[in-house]
Amino acid sequence: MGEGSRTEWNVTGLTFAPNISLGYPKLWVQTAAIQSDLNTGVTFFPVNARVTGPGTGPRARARKNMHTGKPMDTTETNGQTDGSSETGNDFGRRNPLEIGVQLRNLVNRGDFLTAQYKGGQLVTRILDVDVRERTFTFDWGALAEQNRGLIAAPRCVFHAQPEGVRVEFVTGTPRETTFEGRPAFEADFPDVLFYVQRREFFRVDAPVLNPYLCTGQLPDGEGFRFEVHDLSLGGVGMRTTDVRVVDLPMGCVLDDCELSLGAPGKLAVDLQLVSFRAIDLPNGTQRYQLGMRFVALPGNAENTLQRLITQLEMKRRSLVRT
C-alpha cells in the first residue's frame, strides 16, 4: 500500500493507520485498564481469595514461566514505536483498587519484575497482593547482598513488561516477611502505577557522534546536561552517569529545558519523567536511562522534530542498504 493511502483497518479492536511521514503503522489499544484486562480474558479473584492445588501457587507458576516466559526487555530499537510519551497522567493508576488489579495480574501470570535500588537491582516476582491493607509481597532475591541492599534502600523502582505492556511504579523501603514458609519482601502500594499499553509515536536513535544534548535545571535548581539517546514526537530518551537522577520522583516535570539538536538548532521544551533505568557498567559505575515525555509540545517544535526524525530514519535506511 502506498504511503499516501488513508485506508484504516480494524481487527479485533485494534486500529491501524499509516504514518504518512515514515510509512510505519501507528497502533492504538484501548486504554481502560480494567476493561482491557476483561477483554483479554484475565481472571480476577476476590481480594482475599487464594487458588490452591498442585502447581498453582505463585512460586510454582513462576518456576514454570522462568523457562517458558518471554525475556523482559525494557528497551526498544529504532524501527519501533514509542510509548514513553503516553506514560503520563493518562496512564497513571492512582486508585488503590486499580493498582491492586494490575499487581494481581502480574501474580496470576507469574511475570518477572526488575526491582532497582540505589547501588543495584534484582529480578523478582510478586507473590501476593492485599488490596485491603494496600500491600504486596514479592520474592526474595537470589543473592544476600541484593537483599541487604534492597532493605536499606529508601526507594525502589519496579519495572515489568508483560506482553509488551510496560508497568512501572516506585515504593518506599520494603520490609522482611515470609510467604509460604520462605523469606520474602513486603511493600506498600505505590502512590501511582504507570501502565503503558499504547504505542503511538515512531522513535529513532539519536547520533552517537556529536550527540544531541538536553540542558536545564533539576527540581532543586541545580543544572544538568544529559545526552539524548533517542527521540520521537512524544518525548526523548536520555542517558547520563549523573547520580542525582536516582532521586528524581517519577512523574516530576522539568520546565524550560533546552534540546540542542545540531543543524535544526535548539528547542525549548517542558519534560516529564516517565521511566527510569540503571545499567551497570564494566568499570563498576552505573549509567542511567531516562524516558521523558513532552508536555504541551508547541506546533513549530513538533514540525521541527518531525523533519529531523524523518531525516534520521532515511539516513539509517540508506546505511542499512549499503
Q: In which residue are the cell numbers 511475570 written?
A: 111
Q: What is the CATH number of the domain that holds 257?
A: 2.40.10.220
Is 246 found in the same domain as 142?
no
Is 179 found in the same domain as 37?
yes
Quick check: 38 pLDDT over 80?
no
Q: What is the pLDDT of residue 163?
A: 64
Interval 264-275: pLDDT, tens? 889 999 999 888
Q: What is the pLDDT of residue 264?
A: 83
Question: Is residue 88 included in any domain, yes or no?
Answer: no
C-alpha to C-alpha distance for 302 and 250, rounded to whole angstroms: 24
Is 284 found in the same domain as 211?
yes
C-alpha to C-alpha distance for 164 and 109, rounded to whole angstroms: 13
Count of the separate structural domains present in the chain: 3
Q: Tell me which of 27-41, 78-92, 269-283, 291-305 is least confident.
A: 27-41
Is 251 found in the same domain as 218?
yes
Contact by Cβ (8 Å): 294, 306 = no
User: What is the extent of the structural domain holding 268?
Assistant: 204-321
Contact by Cβ (8 Å): 217, 254 = yes
Interval 175-233: pLDDT, tens? 999 999 999 999 999 999 988 765 556 778 888 888 999 999 999 999 999 999 998 88
Question: Is residue 144 included in any domain, yes or no?
Answer: yes
Chain mean pLDDT for the chain: 74
Interval 154-177: pLDDT, tens? 999 998 877 657 889 999 999 999
Largest CA distance in the chain: 64
- The residue from 141, 161, 191 where one domain ends is 191
Is 145 found in the same domain as 117?
yes
Contact by Cβ (8 Å): 276, 248 = yes
C-alpha to C-alpha distance for 79 and 320, rounded to whole angstroms: 12
Q: What is the pLDDT of residue 284?
A: 85
Is 223 found in the same domain as 187?
no
Nine-digit cell at 117?
535500588
Check: pTM over 0.85? Answer yes or no: no
Question: Is residue 79 included in any domain, yes or no?
Answer: no
Is 133 found in the same domain as 26?
no
Q: In which residue are the cell numbers 537491582 written?
A: 121
Interval 104-132: pLDDT, tens? 999 998 888 989 998 888 989 999 999 99
Question: DSSP letters along 222-254, please?
Answer: -EEEEEEEEEESSEEEEEE--GGGGGPPTT-EE
Quick check: 13 pLDDT over 80?
no
Q: What is the CATH number of the domain that holds 152?
A: 2.30.110.10
Share of the chain above pLDDT 70, in %: 69
Q: What is the pLDDT of residue 71?
A: 33
